[in-house]
Amino acid sequence: MIDIFIAMATSASHLALVTIAYGMIRRMRLPRAASALLQAAAFSLGTLAVMVSPAPLAAGVMIDARATVIGLAAAFAGPIPAIAAAITGALYRLHIGGAGAAMGCLSILYVLASGLWWRFRPRPHAETRWSDLVLLGSVLVPHAAVVFFIPTDKAPGVILAVVAVMAASCFVSTLAFGRLILREDQLLERERVLRDFAYADPLTGLPNRREFEAKIEEAFGRGTPPASGCLLLMDFDHFKDVNDRFGHAAGDDALKQLARLLQTTLRAGDFVARHGGEEFVAFLPETSALDARYIAERIRQRVAWEAMKVGEETLLVTVSIGIASANGKMSLAELFASADKALYRAKTAGRNRVEAAAEERGRNLPLPATDEAEPSSAAPAAAA
């Protein structure tokens, strides 16, 4: 029995390391496949670690904490890490051999299935609670019963005591380390919410200016002027009139619809954000000034022709757009300033226009003719 307690204490340290590795991998914010592979490696190594220092019950019969490691992998890390850990444990157990090899593999299969059932079962509530951890520990505990079916010369009382210790250890360690993993998940979710709040516009769901600038720096390097691409600065024409005539709720709804329209009009590689107020900004990577003008015109035309349903009202709105081209010399702030000057010219020239920065104006080529004539008398934000 002393050997069993020593083995369980050693396994607790290994479980602690697996829990730490789980949190570190989650915080890396890797793609899902890469994260799953790293978690598979962590839980597989954890399974091996607890199995190499077991408590021997009899010849070929070993007791360890593999059930807790595999069960937690299935419950929290997902199917791929859990299956990897289970296969690792089963192969190692078969390699060791002995009278308990077959039942040991059966217990591994049981905890894998139990952990996955717990993970995917229907729940009356979204968050994981203490009662859920109690349920997880309860469904993993029966794996200890395989000891009853392993041939051994130990007295029945000893076998019963061993099973009781295994069951209690599995239950307690599942609660303890499951709680640590759950707490790590909750902290990560809280960080995600705070990060989204800091870098996303709560009204439109688009990234805000801070996130926009971070993305540009990520693409070109911090402090490095963008070497190519174009920046579009877009302004919702006469937005104040929408708020004054139809209320701020209508204005908010119009901004959300405009954000969705921009997302669906721009290309997959383009990055759009809310710049602030009624202004939006988009960066078009690897895009020439002429192509950027075509894209800006497409945005302008689509906004002008797609009526917005706001409450009981149907609004016709327009946007003015300023374009600035990156050349590897202008900083991001200078690029914004250049686009802002172009936007100002578009607004002073009558709005519902596209204007390029001064350095691009000489290269403004005629745009292709459209089949539809631009509305001549529809006032911005006029009720249809």
Position 170, amino acid: C
Residues 256-311: pLDDT tens digits? Answer: 999 999 999 999 889 999 998 999 999 999 899 999 999 999 999 999 998 888 87
Q: For all residues of the chain together, what is the average pLDDT?
A: 85
Query: What is the structure's pLDDT at 371?
Result: 42
Q: What's the rounded mean pLDDT across residues 90-116?
A: 91
Cα–Cα dist 197/210, whole Å: 11
DSSP 312-323: TEEEE--EEEEE
Is 382 in a helix, a strand, or coil? Answer: strand
3-state secondary structure 182-233: HHHHHHHHHHHHHHHHHHECCCCCCECHHHHHHHHHHHHCCCCCCCCCEEEE
Cα–Cα dist 377/31, whole Å: 51
Residue 184, token pair as written in the block: 């790590």
Residue 276, token pair as written in the block: 């602030």
Residues 115-142: pLDDT tens digits? Answer: 999 999 998 887 888 899 999 999 999 9
Helices 32-51, 79-96: axis angle to 10 degrees equals: 30
Residues 314-359: pLDDT tens digits? Answer: 888 999 999 999 888 888 889 999 999 999 999 999 999 999 986 5
Cα–Cα dist 240/256, whole Å: 15
pLDDT at 382 over 80: no
Which CATH architecture best describes the domain 209-383? Answer: 2-Layer Sandwich (3.30)
Pairing of β 279-284 and β 230-236: antiparallel
Query: What is the structure's pLDDT at 223?
Result: 64
**CATH 1.10.1760 in the chain, residues?**
2-199
- Of 303 and 59, which is predicted with more confidence? 303
Cα–Cα dist 209/275, whole Å: 5
Residues 7-25: pLDDT tens digits? Answer: 666 778 889 999 999 999 9
Q: What's the rounded mean pLDDT across residues 164-177?
A: 89
To the nearest whole percent, how much of the chain has pLDDT over 90? Answer: 51
Alpha-carbon 359 to chain mean position: 40
Q: What's the rounded mean pLDDT across residues 79-99?
A: 92
Beta partners for 58? Answer: 61
**CATH 3.30.70.270 in the chain, residues?**
209-383
DSSP E strands, the chain:
55-58, 61-63, 230-236, 271-276, 279-284, 308-310, 313-316, 319-325, 354-356, 382-383
Residues 253-262: pLDDT tens digits? Answer: 999 999 999 9
Query: What is the structure's pLDDT at 62?
Result: 66
Q: What's the rounded mean pLDDT across residues 212-233?
A: 82
Beta partners for 122? Answer: none
Give the DSSP letter of residue 142: G
Q: What's the rounded mean pLDDT across residues 241-255?
A: 90
Helices 248-265, 289-305: axis angle to 10 degrees equals: 140
Cα–Cα dist 315/336, whole Å: 29
pLDDT at 59 over 80: no
Residue 311, token pair as written in the block: 């409450």
Query: What is the structure's pLDDT at 109?
Result: 96
Q: What CATH topology corresponds to 2-199?
A: Arp2/3 complex 21 kDa subunit ARPC3 (1.10.1760)
- Residues in CB range of 102: below 8 A, 6 or more apart: none
User: For residue 198, how many other CB atoms are within 10 A of its CB?
Assistant: 10
Closest by CA position to 65, among listed 79, 85, 51, 52: 51
**Phi, psi (deg, nearest 5) at residue 24:** -65, -40
* Residue 231 and residue 330 in contact, taking contact as beta carbons nearer than 8 Å: no
Terminal Cα-to-Cα distance of the chain (whole angstroms):
84
